[in-house]
Amino acid sequence: MVQTHSSTPMLPARAPASYAEPALRFWERATWRRKIVPWLFVLPILLINIGVVLGPALSAVYYSMTEWTGIGPATFTGLDNYRRLLNDPSFGHAFRNNIIWLLMFLTVPIALALVAASLLSQIGRGSLFYRMTLFLPYVLPSVVVAAIWRSLLNPDRGLPATFTDWGIPGFDRALLGDQGTVLPTIAFVDNWHFWGFLMVLFLASMQNIGPELYEAARLDGASRWQEFRDITIPGIRPTLVFMILMTSIWSFLTFDYIWVLTQGGPAGASEVLAVLVFKNAFMNLEAGYASAIGLSMSFFVGIVIAIFIVLRKRGWEI
Amino acid sequence: MATTASPSPASPSGRKRRSWFALVPNYVVLSLLAVFALGPLVILGFNSVKGKAEIGRNPLGFPTEFLWRNYPDAWRVGNFSTTVQNSGILVALTVSAVLILGGMAAYSLAKLNLPGGNLVTLYLLIGSSLPIQLFLVPLFFLWQKLGLVNSLPGLAIIYTATNAPLAIFLLRSYMVQLPADFEDAARVDGANEWRIFTQIVVPLSWPGFLTVGLVVALGVWNEFLLATVFLTDQDKFTVVTSYYNFTSRFSRDWGLTSAAAMMMIVPIIVIFLALQRRFVEGMTQGGLKG
């Protein structure tokens, strides 16, 4: 994260040219103007952020080592919650689902977005229409997207029934009610909403590739596939890598679509770590245990970021 | 890289040299994808004016008769008059807090050479990548103690905190580009930093404020997880959390739920289409929001 952000102008701008400063009242003195005032501008939002994010995040570390219902006092139990995690089959199952989710999201939407962005970058007329249309699902609220697709996937009168009528096999079931198909189905719905976002990012990046590269390739008789592989992909590599990183992180945090569509069901088949946190904290009154699961999620996110940093230090151009 | 992605609409690039004929496959594939994106929304529109009986006969096609009554019915049954107000209050509070406080912080980082500014930036970067689930549980019980659960301002404070890093980075990248001449002149004239911020920097960077305001407003309007956790009282439901309950209560009546969904998304779509460049710019430059 820190690394990949380097192209944003993060460094503070240098101080404006120094100006004459006759020693006057205290609020006109240099220390006040140069040191205190800048902090007064940052402090309000910083305090809010610390109160909402950092403070509770740090206390989660403590609560993860306690038995706590969330209401009464917390009893310190050391690493008990973590021992319990390792032996909890639902934790292992949820983690596995997060990994499956990760693999699905690292392949399908990225491939789709790359192909669509590449096709879109070649056309002139109508490109604005396609760009807006394909991005549109991304601005819709998850509950509405989920409701739309719950209807469309209804086994009796939705698309599956139509597909079955046409003789396409595999659709004669409740895709969201079947333990074997529920997770890919939710991922499909989430993806319908998500992939256009990736596409727009890739497209913006592709538009920064110099057209002369493509002209040269065409003179050499390169095929479309060769252009895509040897010019487009290397040209957008920073964006591609950054989005692979972000997609990996988001895959460990995914919650909305799963909760809205199935609440982790049927029979826990679509449970992921975020769903476990929610259920333990707000339904089972196991706030301490939920904090431990939440902390483990941050740990996995940290591993993803660490892998990227290590690969970069090793000289991978990512 | 996401953060530098140019948001300008498709500029005519050298790749347009291909003949019209060679681009036919492009248009075919893109049109199929457009149908994939719009088809479900069109079907939603069809279903929003169908009665129960017609949904059973014709769940996907064009309606044979138009039952417009679904809309007022859904408005009333879905309690939209309350929920729209709640969501509106949340959006207004959050957007104003983020723009004012985030704008101040961005100004300090961009223009005032804040001592320790790099640390603040690093903190905001790390803070923005922490999963909500990490701090959600202690935060909820803290908010409960403070009496901020089931309070719209209480939730707006949380939204302000979670949206702050993105807003600060975006606003700062706008402000860094502003020439320092005006500020320096004002300083020489004895203006204090607050006046320079409000009278010079904010007016000059209003496109940045508009972009950030739009992205934050959309994020708050659509937000589900925090709203579910922190607003459990029916009177405090947002449009989104109320719709979630509404669909489980009326899961059999697709006409009604579709009409409710249309009322939620049509305003979003209209605003998006009208200001799409700003939306795309804000959301892709941020790149950090799921």
Residues 287-316 of A with CB under 8 A from B: 287, 290-291, 293-295, 297-298, 301, 305
Residue B237 confidence (pLDDT): 95
* pLDDT, mean of residues B76-96: 94
Which whole number is the average pLDDT over B62-89? 90
Per-domain residue ranges for chain B?
24-68, 80-286
Confidence of residue A309 (pLDDT cuts 50, 70, 90): confident
pLDDT at B34: 96
Residue A90 clears pLDDT 90, i.e. is over it: yes
| Tokens standing for residue A186 | 């939710």
Please state which of the four CATH numbers 1.10.3720.10, 1.20.1070.10, 3.60.130.10, 3.40.50.2300 is assigned to the domain occupying A82-211+237-313. Answer: 1.10.3720.10
Residue A7 at interface with chain B, using a CB cutoff of 8 Å: yes
| Interface contact A137, partner B, CB < 8 A | yes
Supply the mean pLDDT for chain B: 86
Specify the higher pLDDT residue, B11 or A248.
Answer: A248
Residues A222-245, mean pLDDT to the nearest whole number: 89
CB contact, 8 Å: A23 with chain B? no
Q: Which of A203-217, B52-66, B194-208 has the lowest mean pLDDT?
A: B52-66
Is pLDDT larger for residue B36 or for residue A173?
B36
Give which of A45, A156, A257 to mutate to test B binding, by max B Cβ within 10 Å.
A45
Residue B280 confidence (pLDDT) above 90: no
Q: Residue B32 class from Cβ within 10 Å (0-12 exposed, 13-18 middle, 19+ buried)?
A: exposed
When mean pLDDT is compared across A27-31, A150-154, B269-273, the lowest value belongs to A27-31
Of A20, A41, A17, A42, the C-alpha closest to A30 is A20
- Which chain A positions have a beta carbon within 8 Å of B17's beta carbon? 215, 218
Q: Report pLDDT digits (tens) over B133-186.
A: 889 889 999 999 999 999 999 999 999 999 999 899 989 988 988 888 888 888
Mean pLDDT of A151-165: 83
Question: Which of A133, A218, A256 shows the shortest C-beta gap to B38?
Answer: A133
pLDDT value of residue B159: 96
pLDDT bucket at A22, cuts 50 / 70 / 90: low
Return the sign of the alpha-carbon dihedral for residues B229, B231, B234, B237. negative
Cβ within 8 Å of B, A 75-114: none
Amino acid B9: pLDDT: 41
- CA-based nearest residue in chain B for residue A242: B1
Look at the domain B80-286 and name its fold.
MetI-like fold (1.10.3720)
Query: What is the pLDDT confidence band of residue B286, given thresholds at 50, 70 and 90?
Result: low
Q: Give the global pTM.
A: 0.85
Name every chain B residue with its beta carbon within 8 A of the beta carbon of A41.
104-105, 107-108, 112, 114, 193, 197
Residue A12 pLDDT class (50, 70, 90 cuts) = very low
Mind listing the pLDDT tens digit for each residue in B180-228? 888 888 888 888 888 999 998 999 988 899 999 999 999 999 999 999 9
What Rg value do the Cα atoms of chain B yield, rounded? 23
Mean pLDDT estimate for chain A: 86
Output A217-223 pairs: Cβ under 8 A, ≥24 positions apart: A218/B17
**From CA B99, how far away is CA B91, in angstroms rounded?**
12
A 154-213 near B (Cβ less than 8 A):
154, 157-159, 162, 192, 196-197, 200-201, 203-205, 207-208, 210-212
pLDDT, average across residues A118-143: 92
Residue B181, number of CB atoms within 10 A of its CB = 9
Q: Percent of chain A having pLDDT more than 70?
A: 90
- pLDDT bin (cut points 50, 70, 90) of residue B18 is low
pLDDT value of position B1: 35
**Complex ipTM:** 0.86
| Cα–Cα distance, B240 to A145 (Å, whole number) | 11
Per-residue model confidence (pLDDT) at position A199 = 94
What local confidence, expressed as pLDDT, does residue B146 receive? 94
CB-nearest to B60 from A45, A127, A162 is A162
* Nearest residue, CB atoms, A48 vs list B107, B138, B160: B160
Say which range, B1-10, B15-24, B179-188, has the weakest mean pLDDT. B1-10
Longest alpha-carbon distance in chain A: 88
Q: Do A204 and B6 touch (CB under 8 A)?
A: yes
Q: Report the range of poorest mean pLDDT among A10-14, B198-202, B239-243, B284-288.
A: A10-14
pLDDT band at A27 (very low <50, low <70, confident <90, very high): low
- Both tokens of B126, joined, read 């790390």
Least confident of A39-43, A165-169, B149-153, B232-236: A165-169
pLDDT at A171: 81
How many other CB atoms are there within 10 angstroms of residue B268's CB atom? 18
Taking residues A80-109, report their average pLDDT. 94
| pLDDT reported for residue A113 | 96
